[in-house]
Amino acid sequence: MSLYTERLTATTIKTSLSMLLMIQLSLLAIMVKGEVYKVGDSSGWVANTNSNYSNWTSSKIFHVHDVLVFEYNATNDNVILVSRSDFRSCNTSAPLKTFNSGNDSFTIKAHGHFYFTSGFSGHCVNGQKLDVRVPKASRVTTIPPSKPVTSPSPSPNPSIESKAIAPSPLNNVAASHDPQWLLMSTVGATICGFVAIVGGFV
């Protein structure tokens, strides 16, 4: 192989590696971006006797990076983030954070509970309160365990029989995987593979 061909091959591989890295980083950015939820759906963030935000949250599983959007009339309402005890007692005098634009976004940055209500008098006791729970096992994919393979007839050789009914190796692996971790592992393995190839040509 001529020196020109070697240089051309190495340049082509380096360019391909750069493009692949950009694609992988773009995929990672997409995965990190969460879902956007409008609180209360079409009703929005309101205080009335029909307000029941526990029903709204019961059909959803929230994750880190998800965004909560509060839409309301800013002239007679707002959103406050409060502690658990203040949430339970409807104490609005010591908010952790206050939103008052009428179209506020709150990005979830950690696991746990986030408690919201309105700072306007009487709104909390009328049901305008929201408990958003973000479980630690968020964004988890479950692999169903496979059934063990059994031999139809007894085998005279115990070692063969034990192999025949041994469970699938999947049963010994953790049943859940974080897709972000899998993506990062894939990125790392891909980059290592290309670096090894580039190293072989240079």
**Planar angle of CA 22, 28, 31, nearest 5 degrees:** 145
Q: For residues 20 and 111, which has the higher predicted lDDT (pLDDT)?
A: 111
Tell if the pTM clears 0.75, that is, is over it. Answer: no
Supply the mean pLDDT for the chain. 73
Rounded to 10 degrees, the C-alpha dihedral 88/94/100/105 comes to -60
Q: For residues 171 and 134, which has the higher predicted lDDT (pLDDT)?
A: 134
Residue 86: what pLDDT?
97
Q: Are 198 and 14 in contact (CB under 8 A)?
A: yes
Whether residue 26 has pLDDT greater than 50: yes
Topology given in CATH for the domain delimited by 36-134: Immunoglobulin-like (2.60.40)
Whether residue 25 has pLDDT greater than 90: no
Measured CA distances, 47 to 53, 95, 182 (Å):
10, 18, 43
CA nearest to 118, candidates 137, 107, 104: 104
- Pick the range with the lowest mean pLDDT from 75-89, 93-107, 118-132, 176-190: 176-190
Phi, psi (degrees; rounded to nearest 5) at 178: -85, 120
Type of residue at 48: N
Residue 61: what pLDDT?
93
Q: Are 93 and 118 in contact (CB under 8 A)?
A: no
Hey, what are 33's tokens? 């971006």
Q: For residues 201 and 177, which has the higher predicted lDDT (pLDDT)?
A: 201
Q: Quote the distance between the C-alpha of residue 150 and its chain's center.
A: 38
Per-residue burial over 167-185, b if 16 or more Cβ lie within 10 Å, else e, is: eeeeeeeeeeeeeeeebee
Residue 48: what pLDDT?
76
Kindly indicate the confidence band of residue 136, based on its pLDDT and cuts at 50, 70 and 90.
Answer: confident
Q: For residues 39 and 7, which has the higher predicted lDDT (pLDDT)?
A: 39
Residue 171: what pLDDT?
38
pLDDT in tens, 38-94: 999 988 999 876 678 999 999 899 999 999 999 999 999 999 999 999 999 999 999
Q: For residues 197 and 135, which has the higher predicted lDDT (pLDDT)?
A: 135
Domain ranges of the chain: 36-134
Residue 107: what pLDDT?
95
- CA count, 13 A, side-chain hemisphere, 54: 1
Q: For residues 131 and 163, which has the higher predicted lDDT (pLDDT)?
A: 131
Residue 141: what pLDDT?
43
